[in-house]
Amino acid sequence: MMSRPDILQVAVPTPLFSLFDYLPPVGCDPEMLRAGVRVRVPFGSTERCGLVLALRKGSELDAGKLKQAIELLEPEPLLQPGDMELLRWAAVYYQHPIGEVVAGALPVRLRRCLSQTHIVHSGWRLTSSGRRVDPESLKRAPRQAQLLSVLGKSPDGLSREEVVLRVGECRQVIRAMEEKGWLETCELEGGANSAGPSARSAPLELNDHQASAVAAVTDSLGGFGVFLLEGVTGSGKTEVYLYLIERVLARGRQVLVLVPEIGLTPQLMERFKRRLGGASVALLHSSLSEKGRELAWQSARSGEASVVLGTRSAVFSPLPNLGLVIVDEEHDLSLKQQEGFRYSARDLAVVRAQRCGCPVVLGSATPSLESLRNALEARYRHLELPLRAGGAVVPTLDLLDVRSVRLEAGVSPTLMRMTEEQLAAGNQVLIFLNRRGYAPQLTCYDCGWIAQCRRCDARMTLHLSSRLLWCHHCGSQRPLDNQCPDCGHGSLKPLGQGTERLEESLQKRFPETGIVRIDRDSTRRKGSLEQLLSDIRKGRYSILLGTQMLSKGHHFPGVTLVGILDVDQGLYGADYRAAERMAQQIIQVAGRAGRAEKPGRVVIQTRHPDHPLLQTLLKNGYSAFARESLGERKEAGLPPYSHQVLIRAEAHRMEDPVAFLEEGAALAREVMGPGVELWGPVPAPMERRAGRFRAHLLVQAGSRPGIQALLARWLPELRKLKLSRRVRWSVDVDPQEML
């Protein structure tokens, strides 16, 4: 009897939910057939690059119908069995097509049928004549002198990234020195880079709280355990991470560190590299080039990088020797992907640690209610850092009642006066307003017309510097009207405050003062955020104003006063998470003040000074607030005391989304177990967005298995509905935003 052939089960990037069976390529050495290699396969009338997830004998398909794969794309598996299991688990849990999940976990070039880039990248080193130049002789070209001495210490050369990290952006300096024949390009090995032992900075002496946190995690190295590290802003969480990383590296294992998008600052990277000395740190974030990402990914995979520091998607990086996972700012919304494959990197980090048997540390000053509940119920170990490290004190928070106060560009006279005082004393002031643009509304004083987005149920934001009306929901823009399109009069007026307007009026009020605005508009150009932040540290600006971009991870030692302009929206938001988010934001922004010797003050303007949430937060702090909120959630049966899945649907015809979800709900009722509830369908909070009508169906259940069992039976039926092809729809497991 002939032995049956091996069948390749391939994840092909398509929106379908199954793996695809293929016969091995013609003449392929059976030894080469391994799970984890990429393979070029025929798919419909085209070819695709897939990844072999498993091999098996035989297929449900007729042998005659099976197609043959075209070629294997590498001799060695790209992913290890553990990596692939995590991807398969995530595809099932988040109900996303496996082929897309797998492709998304690979560097962009490897999603196509391209061969792997070897870990070689180019950099610069000194030529022999460059080595003979004395930096002292370059008094009039200080940056050349600086680069010369930096390269002088690295005879093997430095990558572009390392050069920029040490001396800043310096294209022209490099060109000038190249022309003089002092430096040349060279090839460097490795996708990760190390600071070199000379740059190494010494660890700080831990305080007692830090020391016991380090001890607790160290004790459990080698086995699974989740730790919630709840430490006030500036309490030295990062220092704890660094100690732990050193211990794990000393055991020859790798560490994965996930940070939120705007938390991954050059400052943090520099701190890691300096502290971890010779160890190589691979950075994985969205502003890297495709090639840079691939090199970092490869260095994680080969084990060359001992630390991977990255944003959300780094949770999928291949780490053959993982010994510890750290998730910093674990409450941060950017750890959840909000479109396509809607995974939570924090939750997957926990799953990953569990599967590979290592500890995971979730750190935050403002833990999510999910993690806090797990800690309070002893599923996670709770480690607390209640004090600021290094003697700084946590700033005091005060409410400023602005109910009957005339505001000047959103700022009350009291806050203006306090700002003045701090400026006079030579300190920095930070003003937080989470709304970019000039004004959130443009209106006609004659007829009451308001500039609306033509494609959304939303108002257009006025951006005065670019003379545009801009919808922040769908991105559509149009030139600013000169006169009212309705009545033809010319009295169009901005209403409300955005950061642009705030900047304008503060500049008028403090004409001599350096003011910097940090928001998505002012930092659109690559590298401009870093430039502004570094100018802030150099003391070039005395007033810092901006959106949440300014609130995370940064250390501004000169800031002694923080003004928070607009918290009232969050107090009465439609989303039950609005209060939690607002509290987190207040505490995070407040945490920017008084981080050094100078004590800080935080002032929160509000029209609801008696609001119980604000009162609890101010009097008793975030922990008390969070515990109180947990009580409310428990009573209401809301997450984390239940689990949710949100089905979103949208279409050009108004009736379609609700009709689809109604049919879907009927199907769900047929297969639903006890303890599962359906809410809706209802129109989305913003019913029309980008020209489409939108509706929601919320599924809620007391247990995860209950909801997962429903999804497994229900969604395949939902996909078969005729209407499912007329609407765009998506499944969001553990949704974080109800938009």
Binding residue for Zn ion, selected from 133, 244, 474, 561, defined by CB under 5 A:
474
Q: For the chain, what is the radius of gyration of the CA atoms?
A: 28
- Cβ at position 327, least distance to ligand ADP in Å: 13
Beta bridge partners of 700: 644, 677
Residue 487 in the binding site for Zn ion (CB under 5 A): yes
Is 51 within 8 Å of 102 (Cβ atoms)? yes
Question: How far apart, in whole angstroms, are the C-alpha atoms of residue 44 and residue 615?
Answer: 62
Q: Which is nearer to ligand ADP, 270 or 457 (CB)?
A: 270
Give min distance, CB of 705 to ligand ADP, in A. Answer: 36
Residues in binding contact with ligand ADP, number by CB under 6 A: 15
Which one among 63, 211, 393, 447 touches Zn ion, defined by CB under 5 A?
447
Strands 6-11 vs 20-23: parallel, antiparallel or unpaired: antiparallel
176-235: which residues touch ligand ADP (CB under 6 A)? 204-207, 210, 231, 233-235
Closer Cβ to ligand ADP, 54 or 204, answer by number: 204
Residue (39 or 242) nearer to ligand ADP, CB: 242
Nearer to ligand ADP, 237 or 373 (CB): 237
Q: CB of 215: closest distance to ligand ADP in angstroms?
A: 14
Asked if 228 contacts 360 with a C-beta cutoff of 8 angstroms, the reply is: no
Among 484, 529, 647, 672, interactor with Zn ion by CB under 5 A: 484
Backbone angles phi, psi at 466, to 5 degrees: -100, 5
- Tell me which of Zn ion, ligand ADP, none is bound by residue 390, counting a contact when its beta carbon lies within the kind-specific cut-off of 5 to 8 angstroms: ligand ADP
- Give the Å distances, CA to CA, from 501 to 146, 484, 492: 40, 21, 16
The site partner of 89 among Zn ion, ligand ADP, none (C-beta below 5 to 8 Å per kind) is none
Residue 557 or 683 with smaller CB distance to ligand ADP? 557
**Cα–Cα nearest to 562, from 540, 584, 530, 588:** 588
The CA distances from residue 293 to 284, 343, 397, in Å, are: 6, 20, 42
The beta strand positions in 367-413, using DSSP E, are 381-385, 396-401
Is the Cβ of residue 66 or residue 206 nearer to ligand ADP in the bound state?
A: 206
Q: Tell me which long-range contacts 243-246 makes (C-beta under 8 A, separation of at least 24).
A: 243/203, 243/206, 243/210, 243/214, 244/214, 244/217, 244/218, 244/324, 244/326, 244/361, 245/276, 245/307, 245/324, 245/326, 246/203, 246/275, 246/276
Least CB distance to ligand ADP at residue 193 (A) = 22
Picked from Zn ion, ligand ADP, none, the partner binding residue 446 (CB below 5 to 8 A depending on kind) is Zn ion
Query: Least distance in Å: CB of 680 to ligand ADP?
Result: 41
The amino acid sitting at 426 is: G
When the beta carbons of 238 and 644 are compared against ligand ADP, the nearer one is 238
- Tell me how far apart the alpha carbons of residues 428 and 409 are, in angstroms, rounded to a whole number: 20
Stretch 452-471: interaction string toward Zn ion, x if CB under 5 A: -x-xx--------------x
- Based on CB atoms, which residue is closest to Zn ion, 283 or 469? 469
Could you say which of ligand ADP, Zn ion, none residue 590 binds, taking C-beta under 5 to 8 angstroms by partner kind? none
Q: 613 is in the binding site of which of ligand ADP, Zn ion, none (Cβ under 5 to 8 A by kind)?
A: none
Which of ligand ADP, Zn ion, none does 204 bind, CB closer than 5 to 8 A by kind?
ligand ADP
Which option in Zn ion, ligand ADP, none does residue 207 bind, with CB closer than 5 to 8 A by kind? Answer: ligand ADP
194 alpha carbon, distance to own chain's centre = 24
Question: Where is 435: in which H helix or E strand?
Answer: none
Q: How far is the CB of 358 from Zn ion (least distance, A)?
A: 45
d(CA 461, CA 738): 22
Return the structure tokens found at 301: 């995979």
581: number of Cβ within 10 Å:
17
In the complex, the smallest distance separating the C-beta of residue 555 from ligand ADP, rounded to whole angstroms, is 6
**Phi and psi torsions of 629, nearest 5°:** -65, -40
Q: Which residue has the tokens 């403002």?
A: 366
What are the counts of helices (DSSP H) followed by strands (DSSP E) for the chain?
21, 31
Closer residue to Zn ion, CB minimum distance, 409 or 686: 686
Residues 6+ apart with CB under 8 A from 208: none
Q: Which two tokens stand for residue 336?
A: 């959840």
Taking CB under 5 A as the criterion, which residues in 536-575 touch Zn ion? Answer: none
Q: Tokens in use for 691?
A: 């020209």
Q: Is residue 226 near Zn ion by the rule CB under 5 A?
A: no
Q: Would you say 213 and 383 are in contact if contact means Cβ atoms under 8 Å apart?
A: yes
Among residues 233 and 299, whose Cβ is nearest to ligand ADP?
Answer: 233
How far, rounded to the nearest angstrom, does the alpha carbon of residue 258 sit from its chain's CA centroid? 9
- Examine residue 600 and tell whether it contacts ligand ADP (CB under 6 A): no
Binders of ligand ADP in range 231-260 (CB under 6 A): 231, 233-239
Shortest CB 216 distance to ligand ADP, Å:
16
When the beta carbons of 473 and 501 are compared against Zn ion, the nearer one is: 473
CB of 456 to Zn ion, least distance (A): 3
Closest CB to ligand ADP among residues 589, 661: 589
From the list ligand ADP, Zn ion, none, partner contacted by residue 681 (C-beta under 5 to 8 A by kind): none
Q: Residue 449 CB, nearest distance to Zn ion (Å)?
A: 4
Helix axes 266-275 and 160-167, enclosed angle (nearest 10): 100
Minimum distance, C-beta of residue 237 to ligand ADP, in the bound complex (Å): 3
Rule CB under 6 A: say whether 294 interacts with ligand ADP.
no
Task: Find which of Zn ion, ligand ADP, none residue 455 binds, CB within 5 to 8 Å per kind.
Answer: Zn ion
The 3-state DSSP class for residue 212 equals helix
Output 235 or 419, the one with its CB closest to ligand ADP. Answer: 235
- Decide if residue 412 touches ligand ADP (CB under 6 A): no
Judged by beta carbon, residue 449 or residue 576, the one nearer Zn ion is: 449
Part in contact with Zn ion (CB under 5 A); list of ranges 168-176, 210-218, 476-484, 627-635: 476-484
555/696 with CB nearer ligand ADP: 555
Residue placing its CB nearer to Zn ion in the complex, 224 or 449: 449
206 binds, among ligand ADP, Zn ion, none (CB under 5 to 8 A by kind): ligand ADP
Residue 108 CB burial class (10 angstroms; 0-12, 13-18, ≥19): middle
- Residue 238 interacting partner from ligand ADP, Zn ion, none (CB closer than 5 to 8 Å by kind): ligand ADP
Closest CB to ligand ADP among residues 203, 222:
203
Distant-in-sequence contacts of 127-132, Cβ < 8 A, 24+ apart: 127/181, 127/182, 127/183, 127/184, 129/181, 129/182, 130/177, 130/181, 130/182, 130/183
Strands, E assignment, 452-491: 461-463, 468-470, 477-479
Binding to ligand ADP (CB under 6 A) within 366-395 occurs at: 389-390
Q: Does 53 bind Zn ion (CB under 5 A)?
A: no
198: closest CA among 283, 277, 126? 277
Phi-psi region of 335 (alpha: psi -120 to 50; beta: other; left: phi over 0): alpha
Q: Are 604 and 586 in contact (CB under 8 A)?
A: yes
Interface with ligand ADP includes 588 (CB under 6 A)? Answer: no
Structure tokens given for 411: 């700022």
Could you say whether residue 269 binds ligand ADP (CB under 6 A)? Answer: no
- Interface with ligand ADP (CB under 6 A): 204-207, 210, 231, 233-239, 389-390
- Interface with Zn ion (CB under 5 A): 444, 446-447, 449, 453, 455-456, 471, 473-474, 484, 486-487
